[in-house]
Amino acid sequence: MSATTTASDQPTPVQATRSAARFLFWACVFLICAWVLVPIYLLMVNALSSPEQVSGFPKSGLPGFDFSSLQFFAGFSGVGRALWNSVSVAVLTMVLSIGIGAPAGYALSRFDFPGKEVFRMLVVMTRAFPLPLLALPLAVMFIRTGLDDTALGLALVHTVLALPFSVLITFSLFSGIPLELEEAAWTLGCNRWQAFQKVVLPLVLPGIAASAVFAFTISWNEVFAAAVLTIENRTLPAFLIQNLNVSPLHLKFAGGAALVVPALVFIFAVRKYLFAMWGIANR
Amino acid sequence: MAEIVIKNVAKRFGGFTALHSIDLTITDQEFMVLLGASGCGKTTLLRIIAGLETPSQGEVWIGGKRVDHLPPRERGISMVFQNYAVFPHLTVFENIAFGLRMKKLPQTEIDRRVNRTAELMHIEQLLKRYSGQLSGGQRQRVAVARALAMEPDVILMDEPLSNLDALLRLEMRAELKGVLADSKTTTIYVTHDQVEAMSLADRISVMNGGKIVQAASPVEVYRNPAARFVGSFIGNPPMNFLPARRGTNGQFQVAGLELPGPVAGDALDFAIRPEDVEIAPTGFVATARVIEPLGAHTLVTTEVDGKLFRAVLDSDLKVAPGDELRLAPKPDRVRWFDPETTLAV
Amino acid sequence: MAEIVIKNVAKRFGGFTALHSIDLTITDQEFMVLLGASGCGKTTLLRIIAGLETPSQGEVWIGGKRVDHLPPRERGISMVFQNYAVFPHLTVFENIAFGLRMKKLPQTEIDRRVNRTAELMHIEQLLKRYSGQLSGGQRQRVAVARALAMEPDVILMDEPLSNLDALLRLEMRAELKGVLADSKTTTIYVTHDQVEAMSLADRISVMNGGKIVQAASPVEVYRNPAARFVGSFIGNPPMNFLPARRGTNGQFQVAGLELPGPVAGDALDFAIRPEDVEIAPTGFVATARVIEPLGAHTLVTTEVDGKLFRAVLDSDLKVAPGDELRLAPKPDRVRWFDPETTLAV
Amino acid sequence: MQAKALPYLLLLPATVFLLVFFVYPFVEIAVLAFSRNGSFSLQPLTTMATHWKFGSALGWTLLLAAVVVPIQLAMALSMATIVTKLQKGRSAILYIFSIPLGLSDLAAGIVWLAIFEQSGFLNSMLHGLGLVDQPILFLGYQNIWIIFLAVVLAEIWRATAIMMVILVSGMGLIPKEYYEAGEVFGASPWQRFVKITLPMLRPSLQSALILRTLAAFEVFAVVTALGGTTLPVLMGETYNWQFALQDRNVAAAYAMVILGISIVATLFFLRVLRVPKGATI
Amino acid sequence: QTLFWSTQAAPVEETQKMREQVLAGFEGGVDYQASETGPFLTRLAAEIQAGSGQIGVVGSLHGDLSTYADSFVDLSDVDLSGIAVSEAFMDLGKLGTDEQKYLPWMQANYVMAASRQALEYLPEGADLNALTYDDLIAWSKALAEGTGSPKFGFPAGPQGLKHRFFQGFLLPSYAGSTVTKFRSAEAVEGWNAFKELWQYTNPASTNYAFMQEPLLSGDVWVAFDHIARLADAFNQRPEDFVAFPAPAGPAGRGFMPVLAGIAVPASAPDIDASKALVAYMMQPETQVATLRATNFYPVTDAALPADLPESAKALGPAINAMTTADDALPALLPVGLGDLGGQFNQVYTDTFERIVLGNQPVEDVLNQQADTLRGLMNQANAPCWLPDAPSEGACPVD
Ligand SMILES: Nc1ncnc2c1ncn2[C@@H]1O[C@H](COP(=O)(O)OP(=O)(O)OP(=O)(O)O)[C@@H](O)[C@H]1O
Ligand SMILES: Nc1ncnc2c1ncn2[C@@H]1O[C@H](COP(=O)(O)OP(=O)(O)OP(=O)(O)O)[C@@H](O)[C@H]1O
Ligand SMILES: [Mg+2]
Ligand SMILES: [Mg+2]
């Protein structure tokens, strides 16, 4: 993170530099990368192939560079708007779920108080209850209150889904920060919030970013609530993929790819925050 | 005005009582040193004053204001933590500037103070490093600098120099004392280094098992320990104790020697500091057991009447284990303790 | 056989050189103390021996085997970390037992060793606690007990007693020495406490700025510092230095005094320890500046010929700042250093 | 020193939020599970329990979770360890590892369908290698175990990254000094992992396992994409009763079952991975 | 803009066509949104429950609409200005009430399709346009044996429309009934025949929602499906495929039309605009455009143009041949079941899964499922519909 911390500055422990172990290690890395990448590659191959190639056999495993399927989606009226809606809902979800979840995670990690377990179970239950059933009462409520068909309304529902993640992840992160650092900040003139913001937050930022990314991808990929709760302001998945199941194969793949690619770009864009490691490794 | 008054403070951790009803007043601008065995509750007391720990009972007043329910930042204190608590994500500079930024001081003032305290602590060349790139002693100095830079009314230091070498300690000590006196800061300073305690303290509070046993000036604590514990705890090596019994002539019999003692009590404990004995023909009969050269002096551990007895003698003295010596206590340095209450008589 | 040989070891952190080409041999069963200023590289050297840090150059041999490329667990060492590194998720018992379980010792043996070392460290009543429930000194003792329980060939201790009070230190010190001697362990012990260093060490290595300046027996290091640094670093308070110039009569002129000196050299540094001066009419003319009572003695900081000059005098002496004293060096304790090379002459 | 109210204050937003957006609709649904036409009845529960698919749906769901979660845990731990061990190329590899985070379960289903389908990539490869003449039908109803396997693979592929990222950020917070102490005291890399990493990772492990297991109980889209209704799962049945059969009461009863096993699993993880009182981390 | 909330034309290409080719001409402006059944029903139910909403017009299959009979406005006053709508369909649209709950929107049917190469294996003497189930079995057997793998295909996947096949094709063809003779000996015979056919059916069928893709990929050579779900094969490679009527059984050539209707929920924001859209949907030009977009046929007497897509050209005659065959035995969609329609379907799906996939004894399964079916009919108190004989009160299950 700092300009002064170059790789060689870090104390380098003596490692078992036995070549066999190293080879095994890199073989593992390679295998896992392949495991992740090959299916993505195949999805892209199909997305870039013509309908005949997609349903043909045997497949070459090479893309046909036929953009018609993707173009079909690009030409779909309202894709731009849906993309924008998706992003705004996802960002709102991210903000809401961290904004609401992180304080709760902090409280769970720093305090012992009656009702702690009840709250924890409540959070977990949220994750354990099928959304399609909740959607009806929620939709009725939203229609009555005017939240229906707004980015905020959908973000609220997505926040219900993402909240368990943000609460539990931030809880575990905060548990990893020594209380003493916070105490030091208090004696240096911080109130709780400032100490949190200036000391704890920078240290857990990578983790917070991770849970924010979860929130984002949960919202990004959620179809059901989006399909029920948005009409004018459709999000991309509600727009593109809710009917992919009943669409021809080549469109399925193209639609899948159309949804995957922005998410990949997003993760790529935020990877720095996701994985930034401060000089805390040798605290 | 930053007088600290601690009234009847106790602290229990579950079933364990770390502090029993502490009463202590540290006057404004006083330099109070807390001394005590490991685990006796020094850190706990500091943390209660700082507001990091809630006392199980009692009151804490700072500068005439009851602060029990104030958060640390409103108590006008700053603190050096026993294990430093240097922020790992900030450079040394930012660590020291941390509290100043919280006070929203102008940047020039921050620079000035950081540089001044860093120089004081000899870490000016480390300002750009992170704590992971510092040695233990350097980290400790960052913690001290961070607290000093605040220029608080009250500073609490928990063994702030424990990881420094003697030379640096000596220097830091002098500088700390000077800086804190100049800034009229009330100081509570935990140390286990008695030389440090002696040379820094206006008063020393000796703690034992969660209680304050004696709070008095260094010389008083050293010369006239209020309790046997103080005598045995302070002084390196500590005081020697021997059982004494009043003889028929009113004098006390101590390991074959006859000494004048206090008027009250029949069975008392005789006590003398190792450096207050001399080789003299009228002394205790002592068999040397261990000889430890300490540089200018030699610490001779002997056996007197079957009891351990230490003497600090000139290093020119040639003595070998097994030798028999005669060790005479300097009469005006002899102290007496009641073996039951352990208090000085 | 666990002789440790360090050949030409250096360590660089980026642009910063923490160790410059260290050569050092610690013989089997020796108790070697490392002394040096904060940040001089003591911890780094220990970590290189332990295998936690890769040297930038050089070789490390333990027990006749080159170990540079062995992981720490195959080096037959154990270590007390400067910041304890007591596992927070394990009880004190399990912390001490950690290494023993790794060795797959039978439970009875583990119990025996844990209890023994815990008793040694006076933490037997804390065995069920977690590290978060311990005081600083208690935690440090757990770290020491954990290392001792391993009964290794080589033990590396990084300021293992820094957070203990004097009394406990004294006791621990004696016990450590006894235990380690009994178990024939080769020990490298970092401390900044010179009394500790003196009383424990078979040999002391004095480090400065990443180099080893002198490695010799305690008395030798104290009496005959190999370099000005050693003299100024060891001894509390340190040696006094005054510039000396050879007069026409071959004698050296030092602050108005005429003293016999070594045959070589024209301009040298005169050096004397503060405890090696006495009040005598033929001494240096010294103006007292600061008077610090140290218990049995008084440290008087004076000014001699415009230079700082410290003297440890009997505490009976009545002296006030501003008083003029006459301080005479004991002739056989005078040492001389070359001001250019800083080495002893 | 701080008001006792602070933790509650911190929980307040989340609690209010959940009360409005979860508890309120949840109660409305939960009531359905125990009523019929507005009055109390156990009929939805009995209908569900006696339906011929209920047993197998429950069984497959549990089996799926029991197979997928441990494998994912092991993989996520290895991946997280690899990432923390890496010196160079860490961010690139971490990025690759976390790519599946961005995938919806539907997309994952589609991808694996493309592989296992009769004219899919697996058959193409086997054909290309000359191992088969005719494409093999992997996902037929007779091959329920292959369907199961495909679902397991797809689930592992899709959802391991979630666990991994939680664990990576947790591992990043373990101070290095403990590993060093472990190393000095004779712990091999594996022992350090078991004795230091795992216990100190407990909070993160707990979170990761709870979240992942709960998600496994709700597996649906991937199963439908790969196995149709051949492999019945609880969530699929819930969906079926809610929309195809339009019996919201029985659907609610299914949801209560999912909730029930989720709570049991959560309690299990909370217990097994709890940090003993007094221990920090 | 009027929101047209629909389950039809859900495949993305069709949705696009609906918007661009069918609805673009409506003056008020239409927002056509096609959803899966789940979101569709949830949204609809929510708006009905909330008493207000955005949905102007609902378009879905008869079965889905029948659940919400109470919540739709009466459409009898929509001005159809002389457009003739099939009477039978108008009746279905009343959903057992006196009001016109929905207007028929479009219809479709199920037919068979085969690739030309399969014709070589057609058994001697079998007439493609008058196929029997026995012929089909023999043909599938020949195909399986001749090519080495089963080549008959059937949409038994989760999105597949298999229940309609059992309700409207298999059972009527064998038992001449959908409900009453559910567990008759004839029905048993029918299920046994289907079991036999299943031996020569591509096992991947349990994953198929649409038969056009397996036909195109060659995994399946002969298939039964909804016309909309076969169309792509004909549009892509018209020369390679032929369409023909569903087979006949001992009781006749059972078939069941698919009927989609449009309704206006009482909670619609602007009921007049909605009705105007409904009327627009019934216009001959709209109906033809709908046919082009969705492969669903008009429910009115709209004249079909000559330049139909390949699929319509191929499939239309097959439907025609089927519905006008001498042994034609039309079966109607369930009426009067209300929200039990789903469970009614489930009875048939379960029967299939247990008998064919689970290999359970046919009689036992039928007996058990008959009990369920009877319970449903009694609960809904629904009288019989074609091909079952009209009943007093609930339709009996013998
Ligand atoms: N990672 C690092 N990057 C840069 N410099 C470092 C790093 N680690 C240590 N140093 C520097 O190396 C020097 C030696 O450090 P080391 O910890 O060995 O000192 P030490 O002798 O143990 O000091 P102390 O008595 O204060 O513990 C110090 O000046 C320190 O600042
Ligand atoms: N959380 C806790 N639970 C139980 N006991 C505790 C806890 N914290 C501290 N203690 C105990 O309270 C006593 C006082 O601890 P404290 O840290 O104040 O000691 P100390 O005087 O600072 O010792 P040291 O010089 O070793 O740092 C110790 O015996 C310690 O074991
Ligand atoms: Mg302490
Ligand atoms: Mg160090």
Both structure tokens of E273? 């605009």
Phi, psi (deg, nearest 5) at residue E40: -55, -55
User: Looking at chain A, which residue has its C-alpha nearest residue B128?
Assistant: A4
How far is residue B51's CA from residue B69's CA, in Å, rounded to a whole number?
8
CA distance D261 to chain E (A): 24
- Interface check for B15 against chain D (CB to CB < 8 A): the answer is no
CA distance D210 to chain C (A): 21
Q: pLDDT over 90 for what percent of chain D?
A: 14
pLDDT digits (tens, 9 = 90+) for A252-270: 788 888 778 887 888 888 7
Give how many domains chain D has, as a whole number: 2
Residue D49 covered by a domain: no
Same domain, B175 and B206: yes
Q: Which of C133, C135, C138 to mutate to test the pocket of ligand 2 (most atoms within 8 A of CB)?
A: C135
Domain span at residue D33?
1-40
- Interface check for D188 against chain C (CB to CB < 8 A): the answer is yes
Residue B58 covered by a domain: yes
| pLDDT at residue D18 greater than cutoff 70 | yes
CATH number of the domain enclosing D126? 1.10.3720.10
Q: Which of C199, C232, C265 is the last residue of a domain?
A: C232
How far is residue B173's CA from residue B179's CA, in Å, rounded to a whole number?
10
Helices (H) and strands (E) in chain C, counts: 8, 19
Confidence of residue E135 (pLDDT cuts 50, 70, 90): confident
* Subunit contact E12:A249, Cβ cutoff 8 A: no
- Interface check for A248 against chain D (CB to CB < 8 A): the answer is no
| pLDDT at residue A282 greater than cutoff 60 | no
pLDDT digits (tens, 9 = 90+) for B208-248: 989 999 999 988 888 889 999 898 888 877 889 998 888 88
Please report residues of C whose CB lies closer than 8 A to that of D278.
Answer: 129-130, 132-133
Least confident of B18-32, C295-309, D257-271: C295-309
- The amino acid sitting at A22 is R
Find the CB nearest B130 among A2, A180, A192: A2
* Subunit contact B73:A4, Cβ cutoff 8 A: no
- DSSP 8-class letter at A199: I
Same domain, C184 and C43: yes
**Sign of the Cα pseudo-torsion (C173, C176, C179, C180, in order):** negative
Enclosing H/E stretch for C111: helix C107-120
Task: Count how many Cα atoms sit within 13 Å of the Cα of residue E330 in the half-sphere of its side chain.
Answer: 14
Report chain A's C-alpha Rg in angstroms. 23
Ligand 1: atom nearest CA of C207 is 21
| pLDDT at residue D1 greater than cutoff 70 | no
User: Looking at chain D, which residue has its C-alpha nearest residue E205?
Assistant: D140
Question: Which residue has tokens 């489930």?
Answer: E346
Same domain, B162 and B299: no
- Cα-Cα end-to-end distance for chain E: 51
Least confident of A131-140, A155-164, B324-333, D36-45: D36-45
Residue C345 covered by a domain: no
Distances in Å between the Cα of B194 and the Cα atoms of B33, B207, B230, C165 are 10, 13, 12, 8
- What is the Cα E184 distance to its own chain's centre? 25
Mean pLDDT over the full length of chain E: 83
Closest CA to D259 of D236, D237, D234: D234
Residue D138 covered by a domain: yes
Closest listed ligand to the CA of B191: 2
Closest CA to A228 of A127, A93, A129, A136: A136
- DSSP 8-class letter at C234: S
How far is residue C307's CA from residue C301's CA, in Å, rounded to a whole number?
10
**Sign of the Cα pseudo-torsion (B70, B71, B77, B81, in order):** positive
Q: Which of B20, B33, B38, B43 to mutate to test the pocket of ligand 2 (most atoms within 8 A of CB)?
A: B43
| pLDDT at residue A99 greater than cutoff 60 | yes
Measuring from atom 22 of ligand 1, which residue has the nearest CA? C43
Distances in Å between the Cα of D269 and the Cα atoms of A34, A174, D266 are 32, 19, 5
Closest CA to D118 of E235, A252, E215, E159: E215
- Interface check for D280 against chain B (CB to CB < 8 A): the answer is no
Instruction: Find the mean pLDDT for residues C226-252.
Output: 86
Please report residues of D whose CB lies closer than 8 A to that of A259.
Answer: 104, 107
Measuring from atom 25 of ligand 2, which residue has the nearest CA? B38
| Residue pairs between chains A and E whose CB atoms are closer than 8 Å | 99
Instruction: Find the mean pLDDT for residues A18-45.
Output: 85
- The amino acid sitting at E30 is V
Enclosing H/E stretch for A42: helix A19-47
Please report residues of D whose CB lies closer than 8 A to that of C46.
Answer: none
| pLDDT at residue A6 greater than cutoff 50 | no
* Spatial contact of E108 and E227, defined as CB atoms under 8 Å apart: yes
Please report residues of C whose CB lies closer than 8 A to that of A17.
Answer: 69
pLDDT digits (tens, 9 = 90+) for E25-76: 888 788 888 888 888 888 888 888 888 888 889 998 887 787 787 888 888 8
Least confident of A223-227, C43-47, C91-95, E206-210: E206-210
Q: E81: alpha, beta or left, given left = phi > 0 and alpha = psi -120 to 50?
A: left
Please report residues of D whose CB lies closer than 8 A to that of E219.
Answer: 118-119, 135
Give how many domains chain B has, as a whole number: 2
- Interface check for A255 against chain E (CB to CB < 8 A): the answer is yes
CA distance D257 to chain E (A): 20
| pLDDT at residue B295 greater than cutoff 70 | no
Q: Where are the alpha helices (DSSP H) in chain D?
A: 6-18, 24-33, 43-50, 54-85, 90-98, 105-116, 121-128, 144-172, 176-184, 189-192, 198-200, 202-217, 221-227, 234-239, 248-272
- The amino acid sitting at A224 is F
* Subunit contact A188:B71, Cβ cutoff 8 A: no
Domain ranges, ordered by start, for chain A: 2-68, 76-281
Helices (H) and strands (E) in chain A, counts: 13, 0
- Give the CA-trace dihedral at B47, B53, B54, B56, to 10 degrees: -80
Same domain, C85 and C191: yes
Same domain, D222 and D103: yes
Both structure tokens of C62? 């333990």
* Subunit contact A4:B130, Cβ cutoff 8 A: yes
* Subunit contact C294:B199, Cβ cutoff 8 A: yes
Residue B345 covered by a domain: no
Q: How far is the CA of C56 from the centre of ligand 1 (A)?
A: 15
Phi, psi (deg, nearest 5) at residue C315: -75, -10
Q: How far is the CA of B233 from the centre of ligand 2 (A)?
A: 18
* Subunit contact D141:E354, Cβ cutoff 8 A: no
User: Looking at chain A, which residue has its C-alpha nearest residue E20?
Assistant: A77
Same domain, C147 and C201: yes
User: At a CB cut-off of 8 Å and minimum separation 6, what does B29 contact?
Assistant: B2, B181, B184, B185, B186
Measuring from atom 17 of ligand 1, which residue has the nearest CA? B135
* Subunit contact C138:B312, Cβ cutoff 8 A: no
Same domain, C258 and C331: yes
Please report residues of C whose CB lies closer than 8 A to that of B177.
Answer: none
Same domain, D27 and D67: no
Q: Residue E249 forms beta bridges with which residues?
A: E252
**Helix/strand/coil (H, E, C) string of chain E?**
CEEEEECCCCCHHHHHHHHHHHCCCCCCCEEEEECCHHHHHHHHHHHHHHCCCCEEEEEEEHHHHHCCHHHECCCCCCCCCCCCECHHHHHHCCCCCCCCCCEEEEEECEEEEEEHHHHCCCCCCCCHHHCEHHHHHHHHHHHHHHHCCCCEECCCCCCCCHHHHHHHHHHHHHHCCCCCCCCCHHHHHHHHHHHHHHHCECHHHHHCCCCHHHHHHCCCCEEEEEHHHCHHHHHHCHHHEEEECCCEECCEEEECCEEEEEECECCCCCHHHHHHHHHHHHCHHHHHHHHHHHCCEECECCCCCCCCCHHHHHHHHHHHHHHCCCCEEECCCCCCCHHHHHHHHHHHHHHHHHHHHCCCCHHHHHHHHHHHHHHHHHHHCCCCCCCCCCCCCCCCCC
| pLDDT at residue C4 greater than cutoff 90 | yes
pLDDT digits (tens, 9 = 90+) for D84-139: 887 777 778 888 888 888 787 777 888 888 888 777 788 888 888 877 777 777 77
Residue B141 covered by a domain: yes
Q: Which of B232, B254, B284 is the last residue of a domain?
A: B232
Q: Which of B216, B232, B248 is the last residue of a domain?
A: B232
* Residue burial E70-101, b: 16+ Cβ < 10 Å; e: rest: ebbbebeebebeebebbeebbebbbbbeeebb
Residue C273 covered by a domain: yes
- The amino acid sitting at D70 is P
Domain span at residue B324?
238-337
Instruction: Find the mean pLDDT for residues A213-217.
Output: 85
User: Looking at chain C, which residue has its C-alpha nearest residue B217?
Assistant: C293
Confidence of residue C173 (pLDDT cuts 50, 70, 90): confident
Q: Which of B42, B84, B158 to mutate to test the pocket of ligand 2 (most atoms within 8 A of CB)?
A: B42
Instruction: Find the mean pLDDT for residues E386-396.
Output: 77
Cis peptide leading into B225, omega within 30 of 0? no
Same domain, B70 and B103: yes
* Spatial contact of E50 and E42, defined as CB atoms under 8 Å apart: no
pLDDT digits (tens, 9 = 90+) for E312-368: 888 888 887 887 777 878 787 777 776 777 788 888 888 888 888 888 888 888 888
Mean pLDDT over the full length of chain B: 88
Q: How far is the CA of B17 from the centre of ligand 2 (A)?
A: 10
- DSSP 8-class letter at D136: P
Enclosing H/E stretch for B1: none
Task: Count how many Cα atoms sit within 13 Å of the Cα of residue E30 in the half-sphere of its side chain.
Answer: 30
Question: What are the DSSP calls for B68-134, one per residue?
Answer: TTS-GGGTTEEEEBTTB---TTSBHHHHHHHHHHHTT--HHHHHHHHHHHHHHTT-GGGTT-BGGGS
- The amino acid sitting at D165 is V
Residue D51 covered by a domain: no
Same domain, B217 and B311: no
Q: How far is the CA of C296 from the centre of ligand 3 (A)?
A: 28
The predicted structure's pLDDT at residue A2: 38
* Spatial contact of E356 and E162, defined as CB atoms under 8 Å apart: no
* Subunit contact A12:C70, Cβ cutoff 8 A: no
Measuring from atom 8 of ligand 2, which residue has the nearest CA? C133
Pocket of ligand 2 (CB under 6 A): B 13, 16, 18, 36, 38-44, 82; C 133-138, 163
pLDDT digits (tens, 9 = 90+) for B241-255: 998 888 888 788 888
Q: Residue C328 forms beta bridges with which residues?
A: C278
Question: Which residue has tokens 């507005």?
Answer: D38
Residues with CB under 5 A from ligand 4 (ion): B 135-136; C 43, 82
User: At a CB cut-off of 8 Å and minimum separation 6, what does C286 contact?
Assistant: C302, C303, C304, C309, C311, C324, C325, C326, C327
Residue C343 covered by a domain: no
Neighbours of E383 (CB within 10 A): 17
- What is the Cα D78 distance to its own chain's centre? 18
* Spatial contact of B80 and B144, defined as CB atoms under 8 Å apart: yes
Same domain, B99 and B207: yes
* Spatial contact of B159 and B82, defined as CB atoms under 8 Å apart: yes
Q: How far is the CA of C41 from the centre of ligand 1 (A)?
A: 6
Same domain, B220 and B257: no
Mean pLDDT over the full length of chain D: 85
* Subunit contact D94:A29, Cβ cutoff 8 A: no
Residue C224 covered by a domain: yes
Report chain E's C-alpha Rg in angstroms. 21
Same domain, D204 and D230: yes
Instruction: Find the mean pLDDT for residues C189-215.
Output: 89
CATH number of the domain enclosing B279? 2.40.50.140
Pocket of ligand 1 (CB under 6 A): A 9, 11; B 132-138, 163; C 13, 16, 18, 36, 38-44, 82
User: Looking at chain B, which residue has its C-alpha nearest residue A9?
Assistant: B133
Same domain, B220 and B251: no
Please report residues of D whose CB lies closer than 8 A to that of B54.
Answer: 1
* Residue burial B1-37, b: 16+ Cβ < 10 Å; e: rest: ebbbbbbebbbeeeeeebbeebebebeebbbbbbbbb
Both structure tokens of D11? 């929980």
Distances in Å between the Cα of E153 and the Cα atoms of E210, E213, E223 are 10, 11, 5
Same domain, B137 and B171: yes
Measuring from atom 23 of ligand 2, which residue has the nearest CA? B39
Could you tell me the fold of the domain covering A76-281? Answer: MetI-like fold (1.10.3720)
Least confident of A17-21, C29-33, C265-269, D77-81: A17-21
- Interface check for A37 against chain D (CB to CB < 8 A): the answer is yes
- Interface check for B89 against chain D (CB to CB < 8 A): the answer is no
Both structure tokens of E46? 């929510």
User: Looking at chain B, which residue has its C-alpha nearest residue D3?
Assistant: B69
pLDDT digits (tens, 9 = 90+) for B123-145: 999 999 988 889 989 999 999 99
